[in-house]
Amino acid sequence: MIKELFLAIALGSILGFGVTGAFFALNKNKTTPKQNLSEISPTPTITEIQMSTEVTTTPAVSSTETSINITSPENNAVVSNSKISIKGDSKPNSLIVISTPTKTFSDKANANGIFSISIELDSGFNLIKINSIDPEDNQSEIELNLTYSTAKI
Amino acid sequence: MFLFLILLFSFISPPQIFSQEATTVTDKTQVILDKVKQIVIGKETTIISNGPKSLVGTITQIDNNQITVSYKNEPKTVAVTEETVFIDIKRNKTKIDNLKSGQDILAMGYFDQYDNFEAKRIVVTDLKTVENKNEIILGKIVDISQSSPIFVLIPIKNKDNQYQIKTDPKTEILDKDIDKLKSGQKIVVIIQPDPKIAKTFYVSKIITLDSPTAQTPETSTNN
């Protein structure tokens, strides 16, 4: 009787550990792809680069698909000083090129993608084109309308 | 044995729950971070939104206290009051009666809480003169003329296109001399269509990307 009991416990243990092992193995397989995705996402795959290429070959104006965002000044703002700073964020280490109708300015975003570039406006309405070129050669463009006027508004 | 198996599963279950919780916590953290970011951006926008704004466009309709303009096929309404100052194209004061459909105007004023724009100053302008014709192209030089200051550039992301680009003594080049430009070199150009020669562009600025110093270009102007 005791012999049978031990045999039953041994068989049960083997079966139990087998099921446990299989369960852990399945769980591991489920979680591994998730981890890989999060690790891969900062460095785009070839497919991702191709997808972003499709977006950037036809630069959208003020589109949400662009990788550049202007935080200051606001679009259509009227400013009383011709020298202002364009602040925003883009992809890390991107080259930022800002073009007013008569002048061009360029600088580089920092490792966090943040940039602040001093530009000089012409008198009156200025249609400003802001381009971001990231280290993977993806180019994005947005437009910013600014008016420089010293008149009392 | 059945009991033993149940016991085993009860030991196995907690790690799964913990991993789900970990994922949920990460997701929640991300959601909170996004919310904070939105709040910060929202606050900044609110502060800036108090300042004066401008609208440009071509007049399509003039009513008593309202001017409708169109810019890039988007109609916008500008409210005018007795206090609104009107300036003609010669920078003289004028009246709303002298404005006509088809004229370009620059209206400066404020948006109210209902997003209506009330103009404090309206300046008649010519939008063609303030147009930004600059194009910023990232590409590779594929050919450099030996007899004229012209090179051919193919955009990195659109190899079906090509630009015939003309330099002149005013062309600014960061980090290198124009004479040192080579075929195969990756550059960013700021170009404008040459009004005299079809399909040719005048380059005001060249930024070279394949030299070590080009990675940290300094802010500069091309004029």
B177-189 pLDDT, tens digit each: 667 788 999 999 9
In the block, tokens 């993608």 appear at A113
A55 found inside a domain: no
Q: Is residue A91 part of a domain?
A: yes
Quick one: which of B138, B40, B155 has its CA closest to A96?
Answer: B138
- Does A78 fall in a domain? yes
- In chain B, the residue whose alpha carbon lies closest to the alpha carbon of A21 is B12
* pLDDT given at position B53: 97
Whether residues A99 and B132 touch (CB distance < 8 A) is answered with yes
The first and second tokens of residue A44, run together, are 């785009």
Cβ A103 vs Cβ B219: under 8 Å: no
Which of B12, B19, B54 to mutate to test binding with chain A, by most A CBs within 10 Å of its CB? B54
Count the residues in chain B. 223
Q: Is the pLDDT of residue A104 over 60?
A: yes
CB-CB neighbours of B216 under 10 Å: 11
Could you tell me which residues come within 8 angstroms of residue B187 by beta carbon, excluding any fewer than 6 positions away?
A: B138, B139, B140, B141, B153, B181, B206, B207, B208, B209
* In-domain check, residue A5: no
Residue A131 Cα distances to A60, A109, B184, B200, angstroms: 11, 12, 22, 22
Inform me whether the pLDDT recorded for A12 exceeds 70: yes
The C-alpha torsion from B107 through B108 and B112 to B114, rounded to 10°, is 30
Contact predicate B190/B135, CB 8 Å: yes
**Whether residue A73 has a cis bond before it, omega within 30° of 0:** yes
The DSSP bridge partners found for residue A96 are A107, A132
Task: Report if residue A139 sits inside a domain.
Answer: yes
**Beta strand B186-193 pairing with B135-144:** antiparallel
Q: Cβ A124–B125 below 8 Å, yes or no?
A: yes
Gap between the terminal Cα atoms of chain A:
101
Distance of alpha carbon B29 from alpha carbon B51, whole angstroms? 34
In this predicted structure, what is the pLDDT of residue B50? 76
Q: Which residue has the higher pLDDT, A153 or A59?
A: A153
CATH number at residue A74: 2.60.40.10
Range of the structural domain that residue A80 is part of? 60-148
Contacts of B100 (CB under 8 A, 6+ apart): B59, B62
Please, is A21 exposed, middle or buried when counting C-beta atoms within 10 Å of its C-beta (0-12, 13-18, 19+)? exposed
Tokens 């109708």 -> residue: A101
As for the ipTM of the complex, it is 0.70
Which residues, including other chains, have CB under 8 Å from residue A138's CB and lie 6 or more apart? A49, A52, A53, A56, A67, A91, B157
Lowest pLDDT segment from A18-27, B11-20, B29-38, B57-66: B11-20
| Rounded distance between C-alpha atoms, residue A149 and residue B107, angstroms | 11
Cβ neighbours of A73 in B, within 8 Å: 48
Q: Is residue A70 included in any domain, yes or no?
A: yes
DSSP per-residue codes, A89-132: E-STT-EEEEE-SS-EEEEE--TTSEEEEEEEPPSEEEEEEEEE
Overall number of domains in chain A: 1
State the smallest CA–CA distance between residue B49 and chain A in angstroms: 8
Q: Is residue A127 part of a domain?
A: yes
Higher pLDDT, A48 or B116: B116
Look up tokens 């394949």; give the residue: B210
Per residue in B123-182, pLDDT (tens digit) is 999 999 989 999 999 999 999 998 889 999 999 988 888 999 999 888 888 766 667 788
The full set of domains in chain B, from first to last, is 53-125 (2.40.50.140), 135-215 (2.40.50.320)
- Say yes or no: B47 contacts chain A, CB-CB below 8 A: no
CB contact under 8 A, B174 and A106: yes
Instruction: Judge whether residue B37 has pLDDT over 50.
Output: yes
DSSP one-letter code for B218: P
* Min Cα–Cα distance to chain B from A130, Å: 9
pLDDT of residue B180: 77
Q: What is the pLDDT of residue A14?
A: 79
User: Considering only CA atoms, which of B139, B97, B98 is closest in space to residue A139?
Assistant: B139
The 10s digit of each residue's pLDDT in A22-76 is 666 655 544 433 333 333 333 333 333 333 333 333 333 333 456 899 999 999 9
With an 8 Å Cβ cutoff, are A73 and B48 in contact?
Answer: yes
Q: Is residue A138 part of a domain?
A: yes
B73 touches chain A (CB under 8 A): no
**How much is the average pLDDT of B94-122?**
95
Closest partner residue to A20 among B8, B125, B132, by Cβ?
B8
B54–A128 CB contact, under 8 Å: no
